[in-house]
Amino acid sequence: MSNIALTRIDDRLIHGQVITAWCKITSAKRIVIVDDLVVKDPFIVQVLQMAAPSTVKVEVHDVESGAEVLKSYNGDENLIVLVKYPKTVLGLVNSGVDLKELNVGGMGAGLGRKSFYKNISVSDEEKEIFRELISKDIKCFIQIVPDAKKIDVGTLL
């Protein structure tokens, strides 16, 4: 599990920034997407796998199996873990996945969400989840692209 190079919340999951910027900077050869709904849609899973270059393996899991994969991983390849929601990260952590940092990327506007920082919107429940993750000594920060300054989520709560 020490090879988790990046854990990122991004409601778009795999897109240009993830592939061109984050895969390059982390040297990741494997992306693990954890989402209880996406895993149930074979078409979306296939689209996500096709969106990555052939040199990057993409797999999709629900929280339970994703936690097991991440806890047992002992390979040499750097991993990127992608999720859509803070509650997914909390589920992984509560299932025993040892995370040190959480990169908050895309979290778009939606029902019950308010502007949090620039184009990032969160609900009150998601703010509470960030507080809980921070209380578990997980450094939560906003960083849209690798060369952008890290913004401490705790200072925005």
> What mean pLDDT comes out for the span 37-64?
97
Q: Which element (helix H / strand E) includes 115?
A: strand 114-117
15 catalytic? Reply is yes
CA distances from 15 to 21, 48, 97 (A): 10, 9, 25
The CATH number of 4-156 is 3.40.35.10
The Cα 90–Cα 129 span in angstroms is 7
What pLDDT score was predicted for residue 57?
A: 95
The Cα 42–Cα 101 span in angstroms is 30
Instruction: Give the model confidence (pLDDT) of 87-117 as tens digits.
Output: 999 999 999 999 999 999 999 999 999 999 9
What pLDDT score was predicted for residue 37?
A: 98
- Residue 13 CB neighbours (<10 A): 22
Could you tell me the pTM of the whole model?
Answer: 0.95
Do residues 113 and 31 lie in contact, with contact meaning Cβ atoms separated by under 8 Å?
Answer: no
Instruction: Give the model confidence (pLDDT) of 71-80 as tens digits.
Output: 999 888 999 9
**Which of 17, 59, 4 lies closest to 35, judged by CA?**
59
Q: What is the mean pLDDT of the chain?
A: 96
Do residues 77 and 3 lie in contact, with contact meaning Cβ atoms separated by under 8 Å?
Answer: yes
Q: Exactly one of 1, 15, 59, 151 is catalytic; which is it?
A: 15
> What mean pLDDT comes out for the span 123-130?
98
> What mean pLDDT comes out for the span 58-84?
95
> What mean pLDDT comes out for the span 22-39?
96
Delimit the domains of the chain by residue range: 4-156
